[in-house]
């Protein structure tokens, strides 16, 4: 086969594939509808960046002007909303078990009297670790509130005794920690999660569609015809078949980038090119993994099961929620087998931190490395395409 002839064959198969994609609604669903649902869901779910007005219960045993003032201030925090005031801790605890509040702020009796007379009344706050995100946000607010309450009392008594504010603060809190979260100073969860969850959806759908596209050829015995259109060359046949899918998924991926970095103005310290390249390579490498899956398990349902399980587990093993460095060493090694992991590392280096491209080249190379997979399994796949009888 000459070079020109190969190109012509690829073109013919691609046209055939476009026709297949157009006539079966399931492709339309998997390639466009499902990614659209996901982007609308995740962007609208986290549009505020951080959850606001998380309900807490206040157990106010003091019921004085000071304690009421504390409650008002706590309520004024953006993340916190005082859902209920009660005199009974067990009632507040029950509300927590009912899921109505995520935290309890406890003000002991005689709080006001003891605070002003220097008897050190203690404040306590309780969080429900069952809801980790809500718990850590409320922990932050309730702790700040407690520190502020102490500072207010300290300032009041100190100033009454003639000390300057600087002197008093130097005594109250000698060392302060000034935090600078690099790249995401707002601790925005949408930035934190969507930059990886959405590409994860793309990876999953690419796996499924790639396996489905090749698997149905086997299932409905059209694989011989497909292969003969490619002049019996698995490379030509695959290229022709996957090209239209590559184009569509790349466009979808670029749309995701547009939503995140354009419309959502998420941090993009690297400029567009490194991320668009990463997205393109994510699509390519996921297709390569998809070909590998159906090559290893050349039955449509087994191939698809493999794709589903691998695609779903990647959301966890990629380490954007729980860092890979905290996992078992075996899993740290396994994480490398997921294209999304390398995409995530590129995102951290490029878009989030704007590092020199030099530090990220390895990850781009990994994504390219996945393209070797189809060649490893090509022979097996070809045999399956030629001989395999579909067994339901």
Partner 1 sequence: MMKREYRLRYIIKEGLQDTFYIWKDELRNVFKDTGVMIFFFLVPFVYPLLYSFIYNNEVVHEAKMVVVDQSDSYLSREFTRRVNATPDVEIVGVCADMAEAKKMLDEKKAYGILLFPSDYSKDLHAGRQATVSLYCDMSALLFYKAFLLSATEVSLDMGKELRMHNNPSSSDKMDQITVDPIPYESVALFNTQNGFASFLVPAILILVLQQTLILGIGMLGGTAREKNRFHSLVPVCRHFSGTLRIVFGKSLTYLLLYVVVCIWVLAVVPRLFSLPQLGDPLTILLFLLPYLFGCIFMSMMLSGFMTSRESPMLVFVFTSVILLFISGVSWPEASIPPFWKAVGYLFPSTPGIQGFIRINTTGASLYEVAHEYRVLWIQAGIYFILSCVIYRYQIIRSRRLIIKQYQYMKIQRMMRKDK
Question: Nearest to residue 249, comparing CAs of 219, 213, 218, 205?
Answer: 205
Tokens coding 176: 């302060």
Q: How far is the CB of 65 from partner 1 (least distance, A)?
A: 16
What is the rounded distance in angstroms from the CA atom of residue 336 to the CA atom of residue 169? 49
Nearest-Å Rg of the Cα atoms of the chain is: 29
- Residues in the chain, overall count: 392
Which lies closer to partner 1 via its Cβ, residue 168 or residue 284? 168
Q: How far is the CB of 389 from partner 1 (least distance, A)?
A: 16
The number of C-alpha atoms within 13 Å of 128 and in the hemisphere containing its C-beta is 20
What is the rounded distance in angstroms from the CA atom of residue 266 to the CA atom of residue 193? 11
Q: How far is the CB of 284 from partner 1 (least distance, A)?
A: 20
Contact 108, 61 (CB under 8 A): yes
Tokens coding 68: 């009421």
Question: Nearest to residue 18, comparing CAs of 255, 338, 240?
Answer: 240
Which lies closer to partner 1 via its Cβ, residue 9 or residue 67? 67
What is the rounded distance in angstroms from the CA atom of residue 270 to the CA atom of residue 351? 5
Tokens 């339309």 sit on residue: 28
Which lies closer to partner 1 via its Cβ, residue 190 or residue 230? 190
DSSP code at position 370: G
How deeply is 61 buried, as exposed, middle or buried, from its count of CB atoms within 10 A (0-12, 13-18, 19+)? middle
Which lies closer to partner 1 via its Cβ, residue 45 or residue 251? 45
For 44-60, letters b (16+ CB in 10 Å) and e give eebeeeebeebbbbbbb
End-to-end CA distance of the chain: 36
Q: How far is the CB of 7 from partner 1 (least distance, A)?
A: 31
Which lies closer to partner 1 via its Cβ, residue 320 or residue 370? 320
Instruction: Give one DSSP letter per residue of 15-33, joined into a string.
Output: HHHHHHHHH-HHHHIIIII
Which lies closer to partner 1 via its Cβ, residue 182 or residue 333? 182
What is the rounded distance in angstroms from the CA atom of residue 392 to the CA atom of residue 219? 9
Q: How far is the CB of 111 from partner 1 (least distance, A)?
A: 8
DSSP code at position 335: G
Q: Is 267 helix (H, G, I), strand (E, B) or coil?
A: coil
Which lies closer to partner 1 via its Cβ, residue 8 or residue 68? 68
Q: How far is the CB of 251 from partner 1 (least distance, A)?
A: 18
Q: How far is the CB of 10 from partner 1 (least distance, A)?
A: 26
Quick one: how far is CA 256 from the chain centroid?
A: 13
Which lies closer to partner 1 via its Cβ, residue 230 or residue 244? 244
What is the rounded distance in angstroms from the CA atom of residue 280 to the CA atom of residue 343? 10
Q: How far is the CB of 347 from partner 1 (least distance, A)?
A: 8
Which lies closer to partner 1 via its Cβ, residue 200 or residue 240? 200
Q: How far is the CB of 255 from partner 1 (least distance, A)?
A: 17
Which lies closer to partner 1 via its Cβ, residue 14 or residue 205? 205
Q: How far is the CB of 355 from partner 1 (least distance, A)?
A: 5
């Amino acid at each position: 086969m000459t070079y020109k002839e190969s190109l012509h064959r690829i073109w013919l198969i691609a046209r055939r594939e476009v026709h297949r994609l157009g006539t079966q609604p399931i492709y339309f669903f998997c390639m466009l509808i499902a990614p659209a649902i996901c982007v609308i869901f995740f962007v609208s779910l986290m549009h505020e960046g951080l959850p606001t007005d998380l309900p807490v219960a206040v157990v106010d045993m003091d019921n004085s002007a000071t304690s009421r003032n504390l409650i008002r201030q706590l309520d004024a925090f953006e993340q916190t909303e005082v859902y209920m005031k009660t005199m009974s801790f067990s009632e507040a605890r029950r509300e927590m078990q009912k899921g109505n509040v995520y935290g309890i702020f406890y003000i002991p009796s005689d709080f006001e009297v003891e605070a002003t007379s220097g008897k050190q009344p203690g404040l306590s706050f309780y969080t429900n670790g069952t809801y980790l995100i809500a718990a850590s946000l409320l922990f932050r607010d309730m702790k700040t509130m407690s520190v502020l309450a102490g500072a207010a009392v300290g300032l009041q008594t100190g100033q009454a005794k003639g000390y300057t504010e600087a002197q008093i603060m130097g005594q109250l809190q000698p060392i302060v920690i000034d935090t600078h979260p690099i790249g995401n100073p707002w601790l925005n969860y949408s930035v934190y999660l969507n930059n990886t969850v959405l590409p994860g959806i793309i990876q999953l759908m690419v796996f499924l569609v790639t396996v489905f596209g090749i698997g149905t050829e086997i299932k409905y015995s059209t694989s011989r015809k497909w292969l003969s259109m490619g002049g019996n060359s698995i490379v030509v046949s695959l290229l022709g078949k996957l090209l239209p899918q590559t184009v569509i998924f790349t466009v979808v991926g670029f749309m995701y980038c547009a939503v995140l970095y354009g419309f959502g103005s998420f941090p993009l310290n690297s400029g567009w090119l490194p991320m668009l390249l990463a997205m393109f390579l994510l699509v390519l490498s996921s297709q390569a993994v998809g070909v590998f899956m159906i090559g290893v398990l050349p039955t449509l349902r087994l191939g698809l099961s493999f794709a589903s399980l691998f695609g779903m587990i990647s959301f966890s093993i990629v380490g954007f929620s729980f860092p890979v460095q905290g996992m078992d060493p075996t899993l740290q090694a396994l994480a490398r087998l997921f294209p999304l992991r390398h995409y995530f590392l590129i995102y951290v280096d490029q878009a989030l931190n704007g590092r020199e491209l030099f530090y990220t080249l390895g990850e781009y190379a990994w994504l390219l490395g996945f393209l070797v997979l189809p060649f490893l399994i090509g022979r097996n796949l070809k045999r399956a395409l030629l001989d395999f009888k579909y067994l339901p």
